[in-house]
Structure 1
Amino acid sequence: MRSLIGVMSNLPDEVGLLGPDGKRFRVRFCFSDNTQSVSPEYPADTDAAASIRPLGYWIYALTAHSPDGKRKACYIGQTVNLKRRFREHLRRNRPGHASFALFEWAAHEQAEVRATVLSWVDGDQSYASRFEGYWLKLAVEAGFVAPDAHNWGRLPQPSNPVGQPPRWPASEVLAASIPLPELVEHGLTPVELFVASRVPF
Structure 2
Amino acid sequence: MKIFFIIGLVGCIGLGQAQAQAFYISKDFEKPGVTEYIKIMWAEHVSYWTSTNKKEVSLTNHHKGIAEDVSDGYLYAVSFPNSKKVYRLHQVTQGKEQLICTHPDGKVQIFEPLPILYYSKNFEKQGITEYLNYDQKSDTYWYYTNKNRNRKIKLIVVNKEQGSYKFPGGKSIYRLSIAGACGGQLRCIHPNGRTQYFKFYEWTD
TM over 0.5: no
Greater per-residue strand proportion: 2
TM-score, scaled to structure 2? 0.26
Q: Highest relative contact order (Cα 8 Å, sep 6+), 1 or 2?
A: 1
Scaled by the length of structure 1, the TM-score of the pair is: 0.26
Which of the pair is proportionally richer in helix? 1
